[in-house]
Chain A
Amino acid sequence: MCRLAAITAAEYFSPMENIHALETMKEGHDGSGMGLMLKNLGGFAESLKDFPVLSGICSSDGLKALDEYMKVNGFREVHMWAPRIKPVAGIDKRDCYFAKFYDYPPAYRESPWAEKEALLTGTRLALREMGEADESIVVFSFYPDVLTLKEVGDPLALGEFFGLEDGRLKAKIILAQGRQNTNYAINLYACHPFFIQGFGTMTNGENTAFVPIRQYLMSRGVQGYTGYQSDSEVFTHILHYTVRELGFPITYYKDIITPLKQLEIETRPDRDALRLIRQSLRMLVIDGPNCIIGFTPEGDCFMVQDAKKLRPGAVGGVKGKYAFMSEECGLDRAVPGRDRSLDIFPMKYDFVTVPMGALEVKVWDQLKGRTKTIS
């Protein structure tokens, strides 16, 4: 099992808060890797919000090829953040870790957002393809106001390795995953969280329906539905498909991946629509055990469980700061001063959301189709 630690807050905070929370849940991950995904960047990046950030790892040669590619394609680098690496035993340093902020190519500067977004996704995929064979270029995300960092190793050690305690890197939403390796060979593309066009998710669990889901997604003809080194990457793409491609309200993500039973559907006010969705999207039904934590482009964070509830997950916090954790001890570390009696342990019908700003928690009940707000 992996361990997940997500925090959303009204104020900027350091990813070390997530890492410390992961440390408390160490029995659940084996230190085989960590992924960090930051959204709504603060600190030095607060003034760079409009510029897409390319996050990745390169060899020296890979970096040259990457820079050349970006230059040829009209991207102008406006800023580069790189971690101040401190050698730590057990972590093999790679040549270059980076987050590069770019200005759009001149031809795109006035383009509609959809075109810009397609350009960013296409560029990320092209870079990925360029460096995939020799692993000279690994790119995790290319999007405004989102930064991703991944490496093999123990999360706390990686925090030190990346020098995250220096306080330069801050955000209002941070997803962190402490990895439990079940894929035998460690591939950075298999490391959560995953990202596509504003949607980021990470998952604790296994996906037994991976093959038909992957085939279904890959045959949608949607840019970016590729890769799938991890069976959990499909959860991000299903979310994107639900909200972006189909235009459904986000709660239907739960109805798609963990649908109600036939008789239960009849109790929902939107049953006519649900019946059609159940038929049409049956290939995207997951079969757990899964706990999925993620964020939307608008900055809403959520946690959703599969119907059989075989993976742990808890949500709790105070006004202005909420955490989504695999375990209660992670919550205690991230938001120690909260009222624990208000903690939420999402069950099979619950879709728990904390809207941007972290002022309240909303629990959507799949069975009734109603939302309860806890503030």
Chain B
Amino acid sequence: MGPVKGPDKNHQLTLKELPYIIRWRDDRCTRCGRCTAVCPLKAIAPEVRVERVVSSEGMVPAPKVTRRVVSVVSQVNDIDRYCTGCAMCQLVCPNAAIEPEFNPEHKFLHVKNKGGDAYKRGGRRNDPNPSTLDMLKFTRISMLTDPALDAGRHEFHLRTYLGRILPPKDLPLKAGGDGRLVVDKGADVFVPPVRQIYPIMIGSMSVGALSPPMWEGLAMGVAYLNEQLGMPVVMASGEGGMPPRLLKSRFLKYFILQIASGYFGWDEIIRSLPHMVEDPAAIEIKYGQGAKPGDGGLLMSYKVLNLIASIRGVPMFVDLASPPTHQTKYSIEEAVAKMIISMSMAWGFRVPVYPKISGTKTAKAVLNNLARNPYAAALSIDGEDGGTGAAYNVSMDKMGHPIAMNIRECYLDLVRQGKQNELPLIGSGGVGKKGNLAANAAALIMLGASAVSVGKYLMQSTAGCLGDEHNRCNLCNTGRCPRGITTQDPKLYRRLDSAKVAERLVDVFKAADTELKKIFAPLGRSTELPIGMSDGLSVGNKEIADALGISYAC
């Protein structure tokens, strides 16, 4: 006996299972078709229906039933074509006839594994709650006993160092007569390269993950910030190299080249080496990423078009998965040290080389190893709230370590060793998650970071990335980014104006610069970054306060 025949459509989803439900208004819709055309997953479709109309004419009720054929816009209930809530339909609708509405009772993750394919996406951890960074407050306000500084009048030195800094006793200095010190050129001391940079860095987002206009826009903005505004903002390339023209240009000095486990793009970088007219700002060796700890990079085939294939030296339309770890690396003591040395040697020890790891309980072990390696230029730690262009949802939502505590523990560990100014810590992962870029950056610095790195926030603020922590959009991995930010499809990325991205990037950094001053001035700091100035921080949660070694205030 077979199964009892159930109602029609029993194995289909109801719209209530889906994370966003489309609200469409028949009375406003002109059937122009823009919404259905723009929808990245075709979650809405025009549909023809027969409508039953009951009408009555005359003084006495005389109902008359007629049927007519109407066209409507309806939401499909196919899990592959779910509404992502991106709201592009609302954006293009000339008559405010359509919008997606978040459905808090959805069962999206129960069903988004069709064919045994675990859900992959881009974006950031889907947790709309405030991060620890957002809970921190700046409470040690300089008042009458120690006058606050004036953010508008005093000079501020909002700069930091990227590179291994020699302890003062190791500096190759000698008396030069006349009460002056001079550098002792004959001293057998390696003085590591150190860059003075702006303390907010642009995190690794690759050419490939980003569309040409997006990457170009950021790069143009960085050049403007450096050359017109004198703000030494640096930008990391992500894995996948850089356009050869840029590698050979004078602008290379504003970029950090990343090498990751797939080594994508490094053929071109090595070939360009003899032609480089400037050194890069630094080399970042990616061992991990906060959004997807233990996972390698992933550029899905739909995004591997001609430009990307040529820069990376691979065929078009193949998935580019970097291994979870560097295959040739078997121990931090030897292999990582060798990689740092190799990279340093490639540029004649003129370029800082540092590893980037994902936030983890084991960060201190890495730190201590690097602290003993005089060639390690920094340690970049990427917390669980970091973003990515493509990863498994489970990695993004459930794996990783919050950045605040990782940075704090590592900094205090360096303090115990007296090396707090020798190995700069770079903190990232969720900086600006709730829009508080400067406040989050300042908090991380006061917990002990020398610099912070930011990516997702910049996509949201410079190019209108639609993604959020309610899993809105987050289609970065599919190449169907409706804003044209994370796609290689010209039909999509031509929507994005690189000049506008550059302009917005400059806006963002200028505003953040003002906000940082507005934070540091009342704390009485302007001459130097308040690295580790934890007495300026409080939090309204005793357990967090104790864990971070800061004060509790409520």
Q: Are B417 and A273 in contact (CB under 8 A)?
A: no
Q: Are A276 and B183 in contact (CB under 8 A)?
A: yes
Whether A209 touches B191, Cβ cut-off 8 Å, given contacts A215-B420, A248-B181, is no
Total count of chain B residues near the partner, CB < 8 A:
45
Q: Are A249 and B145 in contact (CB under 8 A)?
A: no
Q: Are B532 and A276 in contact (CB under 8 A)?
A: no
- 8 Å CB contact of A182 from B145, B173, B180: B145
> In the complex, what residues of A have CB within 8 A of residue B147's CB?
289, 310
Total count of chain A residues near the partner, CB < 8 A:
44
> In the complex, what residues of A have CB within 8 A of residue B159's CB?
262
Whether A282 touches B161, Cβ cut-off 8 Å, given contacts A258-B527, A272-B182, A277-B171, is yes
Within 8 A of B (CB), among A260-278: 261-262, 269-270, 272-273, 276-277
Would you call B486 an interface residue if the criterion is a C-beta within 8 Å of the partner chain's C-beta atoms?
Answer: no
Contacts between the two chains (Cβ within 8 Å), count: 121
Q: With both chains docked as a complex, state the minimum distance between the C-beta of A15 and any C-beta of chain B, in angstroms.
A: 27
- 8 Å CB contact of B416 from A206, A219, A283, A310: A219
Whether A212 touches B194, Cβ cut-off 8 Å, given contacts A261-B155, A273-B180, A281-B168, is no
> In the complex, what residues of B have CB within 8 A of residue A220's CB?
418
Would you call A208 an interface residue if the criterion is a C-beta within 8 Å of the partner chain's C-beta atoms?
Answer: yes
Within 8 A of A (CB), among B139-186: 142, 145-147, 149, 154-155, 157, 159, 161, 165-169, 171, 173, 175-176, 179-183
- 8 Å CB contact of B524 from A182, A259, A287: A287
Q: From B418, which residue of chain A is reached at the shortest CB distance? A: A219
With a 10 A CB-CB cut-off, give which of A212, A269, A282 has the most chain B CB atoms.
A212
> In the complex, what residues of B have CB within 8 A of residue A287's CB?
149, 524-528
Whether A208 touches B420, Cβ cut-off 8 Å, given contacts A270-B182, A276-B183, A282-B161, is no
A210 to B528, CA, bound (A): 13
Interface string of B183-217 (1 = CB under 8 A from A): 10000000100101000000000000000000000
Interface string of B106-134 (1 = CB under 8 A from A): 00000000000000000000000000000
Q: With both chains docked as a complex, state the minimum distance between the C-beta of A53 and any C-beta of chain B, in angstroms.
A: 31
Would you call B353 an interface residue if the criterion is a C-beta within 8 Å of the partner chain's C-beta atoms?
Answer: no
Would you call B534 an interface residue if the criterion is a C-beta within 8 Å of the partner chain's C-beta atoms?
Answer: yes
Q: Are B146 and A219 in contact (CB under 8 A)?
A: no
- 8 Å CB contact of A283 from B180, B181, B421, B527: B421
Would you call B276 an interface residue if the criterion is a C-beta within 8 Å of the partner chain's C-beta atoms?
Answer: no
Q: From A259, which residue of chain B is reached at the shortest CB distance? A: B527
Q: With both chains docked as a complex, state the minimum distance between the C-beta of A116 and any C-beta of chain B, in angstroms.
A: 23
Would you call A341 an interface residue if the criterion is a C-beta within 8 Å of the partner chain's C-beta atoms?
Answer: no
Whether A283 touches B420, Cβ cut-off 8 Å, given contacts A208-B146, A245-B169, is yes
> In the complex, what residues of A have CB within 8 A of residue B526's CB?
287, 308
Within 8 A of A (CB), among B495-535: 523-528, 530-535
A125 to B289, CA, bound (A): 48
> In the complex, what residues of A have CB within 8 A of residue B527's CB?
258-259, 285-288, 307
- 8 Å CB contact of A216 from B145, B421, B535: B421
Would you call A312 an interface residue if the criterion is a C-beta within 8 Å of the partner chain's C-beta atoms?
Answer: no
Q: From A276, which residue of chain B is reached at the shortest CB distance? A: B171
Q: With both chains docked as a complex, state the minimum distance between the C-beta of B232 and any C-beta of chain A, in angstroms.
A: 10
> In the complex, what residues of A have CB within 8 A of residue B528's CB?
209, 259, 282, 285, 287
> In the complex, what residues of B have CB within 8 A of residue A277's CB?
168, 171, 173, 181
The A contact surface, by secondary structure, is loop
Would you call A205 an interface residue if the criterion is a C-beta within 8 Å of the partner chain's C-beta atoms?
Answer: yes
Q: With both chains docked as a complex, state the minimum distance between the C-beta of A311 and any C-beta of chain B, in angstroms.
A: 10
Q: With both chains docked as a complex, state the minimum distance between the C-beta of B163 and any C-beta of chain A, in angstroms.
A: 8
A280 to B154, CA, bound (A): 24
Within 8 A of A (CB), among B292-310: none
Would you call A246 an interface residue if the criterion is a C-beta within 8 Å of the partner chain's C-beta atoms?
Answer: yes
Interface string of B372-403 (1 = CB under 8 A from A): 00000000000000000000000000000000
Would you call B415 an interface residue if the criterion is a C-beta within 8 Å of the partner chain's C-beta atoms?
Answer: yes
Would you call A47 an interface residue if the criterion is a C-beta within 8 Å of the partner chain's C-beta atoms?
Answer: no
Whether A269 touches B180, Cβ cut-off 8 Å, given contacts A211-B534, A215-B415, A289-B146, is yes
Q: Are B531 and A283 in contact (CB under 8 A)?
A: yes
A371 to B142, CA, bound (A): 35
- 8 Å CB contact of B183 from A248, A273, A285: A273
Q: Are A279 and B165 in contact (CB under 8 A)?
A: yes
Q: Are A308 and B149 in contact (CB under 8 A)?
A: yes
> In the complex, what residues of B have CB within 8 A of residue A272's CB?
182-183
A235 to B77, CA, bound (A): 70
Within 8 A of B (CB), among A227-249: 245-246, 248-249
> In the complex, what residues of A have CB within 8 A of residue B421's CB?
216, 280-283
Q: Are A270 and B176 in contact (CB under 8 A)?
A: yes
A220 to B147, CA, bound (A): 30
Would you call A345 an interface residue if the criterion is a C-beta within 8 Å of the partner chain's C-beta atoms?
Answer: no
A338 to B171, CA, bound (A): 44
A273 to B184, CA, bound (A): 9
Q: With both chains docked as a complex, state the minimum distance between the C-beta of A222 and any C-beta of chain B, in angstroms.
A: 10
A270 to B180, CA, bound (A): 7
Q: With both chains docked as a complex, state the minimum distance between the C-beta of B276 and any C-beta of chain A, in angstroms.
A: 24
Would you call A252 an interface residue if the criterion is a C-beta within 8 Å of the partner chain's C-beta atoms?
Answer: yes
A215 to B411, CA, bound (A): 11
A30 to B167, CA, bound (A): 41
Q: Are B173 and A273 in contact (CB under 8 A)?
A: yes
Interface string of A106-150 (1 = CB under 8 A from B): 000000000000000000000000000000000000000000000
Q: With both chains docked as a complex, state the minimum distance between the C-beta of B166 and any C-beta of chain A, in angstroms.
A: 6
Q: With both chains docked as a complex, state the minimum distance between the C-beta of B536 and any C-beta of chain A, in angstroms.
A: 8
Q: Are A206 and B183 in contact (CB under 8 A)?
A: no
> In the complex, what residues of A have CB within 8 A of residue B145's CB?
182, 206
Q: Are A251 and B535 in contact (CB under 8 A)?
A: no
- 8 Å CB contact of A280 from B165, B175, B524: B165
> In the complex, what residues of B have CB within 8 A of residue A182's CB?
145
Q: Are B533 and A209 in contact (CB under 8 A)?
A: yes
Q: From B150, which residue of chain A is reached at the shortest CB distance? A: A308
A371 to B180, CA, bound (A): 12
> In the complex, what residues of B have CB within 8 A of residue A310's CB?
147
A251 to B531, CA, bound (A): 25
Q: Are A208 and B171 in contact (CB under 8 A)?
A: no
Would you call A221 an interface residue if the criterion is a C-beta within 8 Å of the partner chain's C-beta atoms?
Answer: yes
> In the complex, what residues of A have CB within 8 A of residue B142's CB?
206, 208
> In the complex, what residues of A have CB within 8 A of residue B173's CB?
248, 273, 276-277
A215 to B168, CA, bound (A): 16
Q: Are A251 and B183 in contact (CB under 8 A)?
A: no
Q: From B523, which residue of chain A is reached at the shortest CB distance? A: A208
Q: Are B161 and A279 in contact (CB under 8 A)?
A: yes
Q: List 10 A-B contacts (CB under 8 A).
A: A208-B142, A208-B523, A211-B532, A215-B420, A221-B418, A258-B527, A270-B176, A273-B181, A281-B421, A282-B531
Which 9 A-B residue pairings sit nearest by Cβ, starting from the closest? A206-B146, A208-B524, A219-B418, A285-B528, A273-B181, A212-B532, A249-B179, A270-B180, A272-B183
Knowing that A216-B421, A270-B180, A272-B182 touch, tell me 13 more A-B residue pairs with CB under 8 angstroms: A208-B142, A209-B525, A211-B533, A211-B535, A212-B531, A215-B420, A215-B532, A219-B418, A261-B157, A262-B196, A280-B168, A287-B526, A287-B527
